[in-house]
């Protein structure tokens, strides 16, 4: 039995995100509050709170009176989401390249450096999060609330698609593709930036392949335990 008080809400959220983004949970599997409460040694109320947050972040689906489930995206959902991203983000890249300040350039460079470090340390959850944030960061630089909100939803939906479809060794966003976008932005070339962004999103889409189900995937416990171990190793 895990010790009570071993995990705070932030830790439970980080561990569940890691397990979800690892793609080791079965699509459509139920995330039972009672079961998770036992795994983490906390109350069901605290699990419910974390599940609500994960639902808000689109990492899981929550239904009133039915509970929380691992998302179950189809390949058609994936195509539509990537098409939407090419439409929106081609425009974002163009817009940002036309107006990039020196300060924004420094922020983008710094972000890119952390992304490359996460990739080198093979931390999949960090890589997924940081590469998603690169796209959000560009959206924020438009300073348009509608664009930012649309992108937050699209990026969250993409993170879960990547977990289910992509083969586990490939990175969801190739670091050198982000660098190509960054270089075009730094040279203030709108057409090159839009082109690099759209090419990047098309390449991610071609890397999406439904995965073979790993052994024991139907059970939540192995994936959760692996995520708990990874979390505790990082916390040391
Ligand atoms: Zn990317």
Note the pLDDT tens digit of each residue in 18-69.
Answer: 888 877 788 888 999 999 999 999 999 999 999 999 998 888 999 988 999 9
Q: Specify the pLDDT at position 217.
A: 53
Is pLDDT above 50 for 102? yes
Left, alpha or beta for 81 (phi > 0: left; psi -120 to 50: alpha)?
alpha
Query: Which residues lie at CB < 5 A from ion ligand 1?
Result: 173
9-26+28-72+213-235 adopts what CATH topology?
Arc Repressor Mutant, subunit A (1.10.10)
Statement: residue 121 has pLDDT above 60? yes
Helix (H) or strand (E) holding 67: strand 67-70
Ligand 1 center from residue 136 Cα (angstroms): 10
CA of 39 to the centre of ligand 1 (A): 34
Tokens for 158, please give them. Answer: 């993409």
Name residue, tokens 């993409």.
158
Tell me how far the alpha carbon of residue 151 lies from the centroid of ligand 1, in angstroms: 12
CATH of domain 75-206: 1.20.120.530
Give distance in angstroms: CA of 127 to centre of ligand 1: 10
Confidence label for 1 from pLDDT (cuts 50, 70 and 90): very low
pTM given for the model: 0.72
Parse the chain into domains and list their residue ranges: 9-26+28-72+213-235, 75-206
How far, in Å, is the centroid of ligand 1 from the Cα of 3?
39
């Amino acid at each position: 039995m895990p010790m009570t008080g071993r995990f705070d809400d932030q830790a439970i959220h980080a561990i569940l995100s890691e397990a979800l983004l690892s793609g080791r949970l079965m699509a459509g599997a139920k995330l039972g509050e009672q079961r998770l409460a036992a795994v983490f040694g906390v109350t069901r109320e605290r699990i419910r709170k974390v599940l609500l947050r994960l639902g808000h972040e689109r990492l899981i689906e929550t239904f009133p009176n039915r509970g929380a489930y691992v998302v179950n995206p189809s390949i058609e959902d994936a195509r539509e989401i990537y098409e939407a991203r090419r439409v929106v983000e081609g425009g974002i890249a163009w817009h940002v390249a036309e107006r990039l300040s020196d300060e924004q350039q420094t922020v983008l460079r710094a972000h890119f450096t952390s992304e490359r470090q996460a990739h080198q340390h093979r931390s999949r959850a960090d890589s997924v999060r940081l590469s998603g944030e690169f796209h959000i960061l560009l959206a924020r630089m438009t300073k348009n609330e509608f664009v930012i909100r649309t992108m937050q939803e699209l990026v969250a939906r993409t993170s879960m698609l990547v977990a289910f479809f992509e083969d586990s060794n490939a990175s969801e966003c190739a670091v050198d593709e982000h660098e190509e976008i960054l270089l075009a932005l730094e040279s203030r070339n709108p057409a090159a930036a839009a082109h690099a962004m759209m090419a990047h999103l098309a390449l991610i889409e071609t890397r999406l392949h439904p995965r073979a189900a790993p052994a024991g995937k139907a059970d939540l416990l192995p994936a959760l335990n692996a995520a708990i171990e990874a979390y505790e190793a990082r916390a040391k």
